[in-house]
Amino acid sequence: MDTNTSPEALQRITLAVEHTRLSLHVPRSEERFYRDAGEEIATTLRIYRYKYPNRSEVPAEGYLAMAAIDIATRYKQVHTALEARKQTLTPRLVEINEELEALISQARQLIDDPPTSSR
């Protein structure tokens, strides 16, 4: 969540989740994320209700718990994949930066001490 929580930076939105209308004050810049998250929760709940239609086997808050676990698991998978990608890219970026610094250094040296041409 954005740390700027001044009243001017916040926007009131209403999300419908699990037969409940939630009124939230969210950063204006993040409104779309909250709306998308509400839709993701609703979609995931529908999936679990379809997979487990026998409500006598699932407590009332069970579907919401399943959806929360599902979404949290996907978040962790994406986060882990991002970290793995960073680990792979970081050494290559360091190498590229070193090459660029060497090229810039050579260019500066050529500018500061141009080669003398013999005539």
Whether residue 16 contacts residue 37, with contact meaning beta carbons closer than 8 Å, is answered with no
Helix (H), strand (E), coil (C) string for the chain = CCCCCCHHHEEEEEEEECCEEEEEEEEHHHHHHHHHHHHHHHHHHHHHHHHCCCCCCCCCCHHHHHHHHHHHHHHHHHHHHHHHHHHHHHHHHHHHHHHHHHHHHHHHHHHHCCCCCCC
The CA angle 24-49-17, to the nearest 5 degrees, is: 10
Q: How confident is the model at residue 116 (pLDDT cuts 50, 70, 90)?
A: confident
User: Could you tell me which residue, 116 or 40, shows the higher pLDDT?
Assistant: 40
pLDDT at res. 4: 60
Query: How does pLDDT run across 48-100, given as a tens digit for each residue?
Result: 999 999 988 998 789 999 999 999 999 999 999 999 999 999 999 999 999 99
Provide the residue ranges of all domains of the chain, joining segments of one domain with +: 7-112
Q: Which is nearest to 41 in space by CA: 76, 91, 1, 75?
A: 75
Percent of the chain exceeding pLDDT 90 equals 79
State the pTM of this model.
Answer: 0.69
One-letter identity of residue 55: R
